Structure formats: structure tokens, C-alpha cells
Amino acid sequence: MTSSSQTSRGSWGSKIAFIFAASGSAIGLGSIWRFPLMVGLNGGAIFVFVYILAVFFIGFPVMLAELTIGRHTQRNPVGAFKAIKPGTPWKLVGYMGVLTGIFILSYYSVVAGWAFGYFYKTLFGVFRGEVTWELSDRIFSTFAANPLEVLFCLFIIIGLTTFVISKGVKGGIERWSKILMPLLFALIIFLAIRALTLTGAGEGLAFYLKPDLTKLNPKVFFFAVGQAFFSLSLGMGTMMTYGSYISKRDNLVSSAGWVCFSTTLVAFLAGIIIFPTLSATNNLQGLKVGTGLMFQVFPLIISKLPGGYLFGLLFFVLLLVAALTSTISLLEVPTAFLVDEHNWPREKAAIFVGALSFLLGIPSALSNGAVTWATQANIMMKMDLIFGNIMLAVGGLFITLFLAYSWGITRALQEISFGNKSFRLKPLWIFNIKFLAPLAIILILVFIRILTQQ
Ligand code: PHE
């Protein structure tokens, strides 16, 4: 790489700027929508417990690995593998990440579209007054089953994301998210306190925090590791791309630590809101957990706040911003790949990938009640299983193997040492990258077979 390409790339203004941008990618629907859904589907507290272990022992090491490779090569994922090991098949891991990004963007944008729909529904007063579970459930099912409305929302989300990426106005969004993300965080804490003080919150809290060991099975590990990758934006090169803009003076270890911590905290609080609200409104027992969980529950708790209308509006705007900072990071990887590796103009690349994701998102958008075959085939959850769980985990596996056995731990440690003088977790990180993370991922992927047989 020439020094001119290094200088022309630019970098985050400061370590804090990087942490905000990377947390913007990580914190989104993964923590607020997908995490409670996974908890509900996988036995409650036991999932929460395994998820936190997965973040610490697998998520954090892989994040540090991605940031290190990214900062060292200053490239998109495909270019990064090509730069370190030219002429080898390792670049296929980068290609896999690019494809995974396009597929995740497709169904992720459907859910982001729901957040947009909920924003204008709240604005128009659909949730005014006391909201019961029956009402909330009916509003969600009617909305998700309306083909034109969900496709319109999907179009808006992909359109906005494409606009931001093609115009290169990401910086503007990041400046905004520096104000809006802390606001979202404050609102979530507020809602969590409200949920905890509802009468009948205890049962939901117990479901969420008191592990039932009989519920522990391979599925829990599989989905917990998948959730760790998904929520931390790992396994497809997003963090490599973000890492490519970090300056040599900044500390990669503590940056990775902050991103993991803040994302996990938001996910944890989302669960604190959902499950106590469910038990307090007598809906925990016998609940059929589905993709609408978050959208069914948040209006309930918001309606229990004085000034619920304004809080609702604020919440869905902020959720939308959180989702957009994630869709932007998803679109950035394939766009940067086409721009850097194939010399496409940025605008053309963004529009091409955006249009492709829109088309790929249509079946998912229609799979929540709008079209019978798509709903029966459960397309959205299948896409999420394949791309959000399996492909990210496979990507993460190859990234650890690449770092440990091809590029080499010593060289990686040298890169990490810039901006970090005392890497206290070093022995643990080396052990995790070399053995624990790859072995754990291989094991859980083997368990998919067991899973599909169940
Ligand atoms: N981490 C994002 C979220 O939780 C989703 C994402 C996954 C973004 C993979 C980029 C890459 O909302």
C-alpha cells in the first residue's frame, strides 16, 4: 500500500468518535428487537447468561481481531485479505462478508421499516390512550400483513440508507447520532425503570434473570453465539472497515471493550423492559413469541407513562436512527468493496447494492402475514438463521483462523501495541483467538445438524 492511499483515507477524529461510530453500527435492532426475541425463543435467563459469556469470550476477541486487521491494512474486507495474503483464497472470506451484508441488509431493513411505520402510526395517534395487548397485537399484525405498507416502509429505509452512503454524508449522520444515541440510551433506562416498577413485574424479571438449567441445550449456545456476532456487527467485515479508519495512536483493546459493553448493556435493558411488561400485563404465560415481540410490547409500556404520546414519538424516532446507523454500516461494506476493488463510482455502487437488497427483502417483508406461502415458509426468520446466525459465525471462524494461523498472532500483537502499552488480557485473547473461539464456533455449527433434526 502506498502512503498516499493511507493519508487520503482519513481517520476518525478521535477514539471517542470511533467508539460512537462503531457503537452506532452495533447498537440497533439487534439489541432492541432481536435480543429479546432470542431470549423469548430460547428459554429466558439461561440464554441471557450464555449470551453474555459469548460476548466476552468470543465477541470481544473477534472484534479486536477485526479492528486489528482493519487498521493494519486500511482496506475493505476483501482488500484486507488480499493485502496481507495476496494470491490466496483468504479473500473469499471477504467476498462472503460482502454477500452476507447484502442479505442481512435486506431483511433488517424490513424491521427498520416497521420502526418507521410505528413512528408515523404514533404520530397519527394510533397509540393514544390506554394500549392493551389485544390492541397492540392487532395493530402489529394488521400492519405487518399489509403488503403495500410494509414494502413502502422497506423502500423508504433502503432509499434513505442508499442516499446517505452514495452522497458520502455518513459524517453528518455520525454527528447527529452522537446526540441521539445517548438520548436513546437515557430513554431506555427510563423505560426500564418504569417496567420494573409495574405491579407484576417480578415474574417477567425472574424469567429474564433466573436461569432454568433444564432449558440449556445446544440450541441456546448456537443462538447465543449468533446473537453475539449479530449484535456486535461481527463476522462480515463491518468492524474491519470501521477499524481501517482508526488512527495508530488509538487503543484498539479499550475501543473494542467499550463497543461490546455499550451494545450488551442496551440489549440487556431492552430485555428488562420487555419481560416485566409482559408479566405485568398478564401476557407472559403462554405467549407465542414472534418477530413482532418488541413492536407489540413497547406501545404497552409507553402508554403507561404520563405524556406517553411524546415518549412514543421520541422512542420510535430514536429507534429509527439506531436502525439507520446499522443499515448504513451494512451497506458500507459491499459499497466500499465495489468502489475500492472494482473502481465503481460510489453512487452507482450504493444504488446497485441498495436496489439488490430491496429486491431480496421483498419475500421477507411479505412473510409476516401478507402473503401466505412466504408466511408459512417463515422467510424472514430463515434468512436470519442463515445469514444472521450461520454466515456471521462462519465468517468469524475464518477471521480467527486467519489471524491466528495465517497472518500470525505476533504481527497482530504488534499492530495492537500501537496506542496500547499494557494489554492485560493478552494471554486470554491469544488463547481465545487460537483455540476457544474457533473450537466453540465449529462445535455450535456441528450442532446445527442436531438443531435441524429437532
Ligand atoms: N449490529 C447491528 C444491530 O445489532 C446489525 C449488524 C449486523 C450491522 C452485522 C452490521 C453488521 O443492529
Segment 222-270, tens digit of pLDDT = 999 999 999 999 999 999 999 988 989 999 999 999 999 999 999 999 9
- pLDDT for the residue numbered 1: 35
- pLDDT for the residue numbered 290: 95
Q: What share of the chain is helix, strand, coil (3-state, %, to 5)?
A: 80, 0, 20
At which residue does the C-alpha cell 429509527 appear?
320
CA distance 408 to 204: 46
Q: Is 334 exposed, middle or buried (0-12, 13-18, 19+ CB in 10 A)?
A: buried
CA of 392 to the centre of ligand 1 (A): 10
Res 453 pLDDT > 80 = no
Of the pLDDT bands very low, low, confident and very high (cuts 50, 70, 90), residue 129 is confident
Percent of the chain with pLDDT over 90: 85
Is the CB–ligand 1 distance for residue 228 below 6 Å?
Answer: no
Res 56 pLDDT > 80 = yes
CA distance 54 to 396: 13
What CATH number has the domain spanning 3-453? 1.20.1740.10
- pLDDT for the residue numbered 169: 66
Is the CB–ligand 1 distance for residue 25 below 6 Å?
Answer: yes
Contacts of 410 (CB under 8 A, 6+ apart): none
Res 431 pLDDT > 50 = yes
Beta strands in 35-181 (DSSP E): none
- Ranking 12-26, 93-107, 205-219, 271-285 by mean pLDDT, the lowest is 12-26
Of the pLDDT bands very low, low, confident and very high (cuts 50, 70, 90), residue 3 is very low
CA-closest residue to ligand 1 atom 6? 233
| Grid cell in block for residue 121 | 402510526
**Helices 170-196 + 252-280 axis angle, to 10:** 40
Is the CB–ligand 1 distance for residue 30 below 6 Å?
Answer: yes
Element (H, E) at 74: none
Report which of 370, 317, 336 is spatially closest to residue 177, judged by C-alpha positions: 317
- Ligand 1 atom closest to Cα of residue 108: 5
Of the pLDDT bands very low, low, confident and very high (cuts 50, 70, 90), residue 9 is low
Res 16 pLDDT > 90 = no
CA of 11 to the centre of ligand 1 (A): 22
Question: What mean pLDDT value characterizes the chain?
Answer: 93
Domain spans in the chain, listed from the N-terminal domain onward: 3-453
Q: What is the pLDDT of residues 169-196, one digit of tens each?
A: 667 667 777 888 899 999 999 999 999 9
Report which of 101, 25, 68 is spatially closest to residue 263, judged by C-alpha positions: 25
Of the pLDDT bands very low, low, confident and very high (cuts 50, 70, 90), residue 450 is low
CA distance 120 to 444: 41
Of the pLDDT bands very low, low, confident and very high (cuts 50, 70, 90), residue 7 is very low
| Grid cell in block for residue 5 | 492511499
Is the CB–ligand 1 distance for residue 326 below 6 Å?
Answer: yes
Q: Which of 240, 329, 387 to mutate to test the pocket of ligand 1 (most atoms within 8 A of CB)?
A: 329
Is the CB–ligand 1 distance for residue 432 below 6 Å?
Answer: no
- Ligand 1 atom closest to Cα of residue 235: 9
CA distance 291 to 187: 23
- pLDDT for the residue numbered 454: 54
- Ligand 1 atom closest to Cα of residue 330: 10
Cα angle 383, 289, 440 (rounded to 5 degrees) comes to 55
Q: Which of 37, 55, 110, 230 to mutate to test the pocket of ligand 1 (most atoms within 8 A of CB)?
A: 230
Is the CB–ligand 1 distance for residue 230 below 6 Å?
Answer: yes
SS3 readout for 404-436: HHHHHHHHHHHHHHCCCCCCCCHHHHHHHHHHH
Q: What is the pLDDT of residues 343-389, one digit of tens each?
A: 999 999 999 999 999 999 999 999 999 999 999 999 999 999 999 99
Mean pLDDT throughout 57-63?
A: 98
Res 322 pLDDT > 60 = yes
Is the CB–ligand 1 distance for residue 73 below 6 Å?
Answer: no
Note the helical H segments in 303-423: 308-342, 346-365, 372-376, 379-383, 392-401, 409-417
CA of 437 to the centre of ligand 1 (A): 20
| Grid cell in block for residue 208 | 429474564
